[in-house]
Amino acid sequence: MTVIIANDTPPAIRGILKRWFIEPKPNVFVGTLNRRTRDKVTDYVIRNAVGISFLVIHSDPNCQGFKIVRYGDPDRRDVEMSGLHLIAEQWIDDSLRPF
């Protein structure tokens, strides 16, 4: 399973993504792709949508069962701590900020 969460997706890119994914909510795309197709789709989006930021969450054989890959500069940041992917909304102490 693959989930793409994008910010401000242009109509042309949304149309391309809808070939392989369903869009249950605006700018959220869900589908089942193999690794090669997923990589080709994300490469296409990166090349043709300048300035877009998005997260790709896909199945992975690790303890959580998924992996998060970030492209661009999304609103929230994913942080890996002790092998676990977490989403950081804000930091209370900026000196502890890992990114």
Domains and CATH numbers, the chain: 2-96 (3.30.70.240)
Predicted TM-score (pTM) of this structure: 0.77
Rounded CA separation 42/44 (Å): 5
What's residue 99's pLDDT? 56
Work out the end-to-end distance of the chain between its first and last CA atoms, rounded to an integer number of angstroms: 28
65: left (phi over 0), alpha (psi -120 to 50) or beta: left
- Across the chain, which has 99 residues, the per-10-residue mean pLDDT values are 90 91 94 93 89 89 86 74 75 61
* Chain segment 28-44, per-residue pLDDT in tens: 999 999 999 999 999 99
